[in-house]
Structure 1
Amino acid sequence: MLSRHRKEITQLQHKEISLKKAAAKGSKAEQKAKKKQVEDEISGLSTELKEKHAQELASLGYNNSNGKEKSNLDTLVKAIAGVSVATQGDTSKPSKSLKRREKRAQQEAAREQRIQEEQSSIVSDRLIENEKLEKKLGPLGLLVNEIKPDGHCLYRAVEDQLAFFSGGTSPYNYQELREMVASYMREHLSDFLPFFLSENKLEVEPDISISERFEKYCREVESTAAWGGQLELGALTHCLRKHILIFSGSFPDVEMGKEYKSDGSSGLSPSIMLSYHKHAFGLGEHYNSLIPNVSK
């Protein structure tokens, strides 16, 4: 049940992205009206889902609003362990197998509470973050173009920007960008290694050299869905010879590759513009692509 609850919450988050993407079309007035409709619909669906989950948990004897956290957690532990919450008067000594089940259940219940608390804070933090970002982007005539949250979001967002510059088709897909980044980082090891060591806080591994650890990191960049950050952005600026701007509602904006910035007469292409979202999803940070608001 708890696993299904988390899946249903994730599905609702994906639906929110899809609806917002569809709403970012048309005139400014139409977009504003659609945005309000999406927010109202998601708010209603979120409330319904929370009520449904609360009812299902209550059927197991768990009440998330009774104000008694300790007894509440104990009830959830017993429910997960398969112990009837209606037999509290039984004072017989529990068996070893029951103790093991309750110990595992206690760990799962504590984890579930943390997830629920994080999801509640993520919703409010996400709304605040989005509002701050919109205030930044509005005067610049920019809109967020939602990118799939699959671990490749940085590279997909850059691919989307390159496609926009090229009139619809990017010269590189996200996988090719990953491979370019890994190759560039290998070729410029001395430039990236200090930042790599600082960011990763690596434990001492006497059998593995620092260069081998860095090579392992590069392999992950080019062959997995490892999330991209400052190191990869730095490599992208040089691989693509692009000026990159990253806007955020949670942190100061970041500018990278100033040497590639177009002054209108240099012949350089426009800047890559991305948005960084710390609270977009429970799984972690996210990047989106920024496009002109054609209705302005």
Structure 2
Amino acid sequence: MGPLETLEALQTRHRREHRDLQARITQKKKSASKKTRKGVNDECATLESELKERHSQELAALNGENGSIAKDEASIEQSPEAEAEDDPETITNGIAESLQNTSISSPPSESADSPASSEPRKKQNRAKARLARRAAEQDALAAQAAAEAASMPDLREQERINMRGHFSKYKLQEKEIRADGHCMYSAVADQMDQAGLGLNPRIQPTIADKQLDGVGEAEKKLPSYKLVRYAAADFIEQNPDDFAGFMEEPVDEYLRKIRETGEWGGHVELMALARQYGIQINVLQANGTVDEITPAEDSTATGDDKKVIWLGYYHHNFGLGEHYNSLRKAP
């Protein structure tokens, strides 16, 4: 092909070599420290000078003169863009901009021309990272709680062991009562039956009679715990001043829960039952304490004349929480 094509090829190669040199210079200046910066700058200037000289010589050899073509080539190399690239401050700013762009750019697989398209991906990744950190924190807390639980004493087993020791002391044996909200009333009914005392209270339950109106004789038999509930409610109803101070709600509502629901019974109901049936109720706890609930403050019955029943009170042994069992006399 003619000389023009050869000239175009030469100019193409010169531009490529010029770009390669600029890249090398940028890398050298980027890697330079304060101590080596002056030497690096001098070296870069020498490389640029040598490249320009060689390019001029090659153009002169091709054209046989240092005429307009060489001048054109020199103008290409010394264009404002090239001078800007050679300027140290421009190179430094370019490096900083390059580093900044690198730190915020999207992954290599995504297009740098579409930063908006990469934003949802980055947000999604941050959300996943937060979820992962939160899950890790929750796992750590769960592991810590499990370790603490493993190191804690088994309160349920300790309570059971302590109660068994007290059974021997008082010559008692335990009758398990179903944990259904009626346990205290069922335990009292079992104790009354075992002692042969029956469930006939001093004040006959009237609520039971009203609820049984119109019911056949075969259906009139109520569960024993229900009769004990009625006995407690009736005594509180007829002596409201003795119990109102222990209640956090109106007496009528309190009595309704005793008679019609599975509301747990406690000390108030035991006081009412002790006075209703004329008995002393001893409540044994795991720490060895025996709460003696007497039928009246002036009760003087002793020995065989004293009617006593026993209940076992648990804090930890049953799923519903507080619980009463019947404690019968051991044979």
Q: Structure 1 length as normaliser, TM-score?
A: 0.51
Question: What per-residue deviation string (whole Å, max 9, x for no partner) do you get for residues 169-225 of structure 1?
Answer: 76671011111211211111111011224xxxxxxxxxxxx6xx2211110011100
The one of 91, 95, 98 aligned to 2:125:
91
Question: What per-residue deviation string (whole Å, max 9, x for no partner) do you get for residues 37-81 of structure 1?
Answer: xxxxxxxxxxxxxxxxxxxxxxxxxxxxxxxxxxxxxxxxxxxxx
| 1:192/1:231 contact within 8 Å kept | yes
| 1:122/1:280 contact within 8 Å kept | no
- Give the match for residue 157 of structure 2: 127
Q: Within 5 Å, which residues of 2 pair with 1:112-191?
A: 124-166=154-196, 173-191=224-242
**Cα separation, 2, equivalents of 1:222 and 1:233:** 15
| 1:164/1:170 contact within 8 Å kept | no
Runs of 4+ in 1 over 3 A off after TM superposition: 115-123, 169-172, 258-262
| 1:243/1:261 contact within 8 Å kept | no
The structure-2 alpha-carbon separation of the partners of 1:159 and 1:258, relative to structure 1 and needing over 3 Å to count, comes to: closer
Q: Within 5 Å, which residues of 2 pair with 1:2-81?
A: none
Larger-gyration structure (1/2) = 2
Q: What letter corresponds to residue 279 of structure 1 in structure 2?
A: H
Secondary structure of the structure 1 residue equivalent to 2:247: helix
Higher relative contact order (CA 8 A, sep 6+): 1
1:195 counterpart = 2:246: yes
| 1:122/1:281 contact within 8 Å kept | no
Q: What letter corresponds to residue 228 of structure 2 in structure 1?
A: L
**Cα separation, 2, equivalents of 1:156 and 1:119:** 34
Q: Structure 2 length as normaliser, TM-score?
A: 0.46
Q: What letter corresponds to residue 189 of structure 1 in structure 2?
A: P
**Cα separation, 2, equivalents of 1:118 and 1:237:** 43
Unpaired stretches in structure 1, ≥5 consecutive residues: 1-88, 100-108, 198-209
Unpaired stretches in structure 2, ≥5 consecutive residues: 1-122, 132-138, 201-222
**Cα separation, 2, equivalents of 1:122 and 1:184:** 44
Q: What letter corresponds to residue 167 of structure 2 in structure 1?
A: L
| 2:243/2:268 contact within 8 Å kept | yes
Q: Displacement, 1:231?
A: 0.5
**Cα separation, 2, equivalents of 1:140 and 1:215:** 39
Q: Displacement, 1:165?
A: 1.6
Q: What letter corresponds to residue 194 of structure 1 in structure 2?
A: G
Q: Displacement, 1:252?
A: 2.4
**Cα separation, 1, equivalents of 2:152 and 2:311:** 21
**Cα separation, 1, equivalents of 2:233 and 2:152:** 32
Aligned pairs, number: 181
Q: Displacement, 1:135?
A: 1.8
Aligned-residue identity in percent: 28
Root-mean-square deviation (CA, aligned residues, Å) is 4.0
- Give the match for residue 319 of structure 2: 282
The structure-2 alpha-carbon separation of the partners of 1:164 and 1:258, relative to structure 1 and needing over 3 Å to count, comes to: same
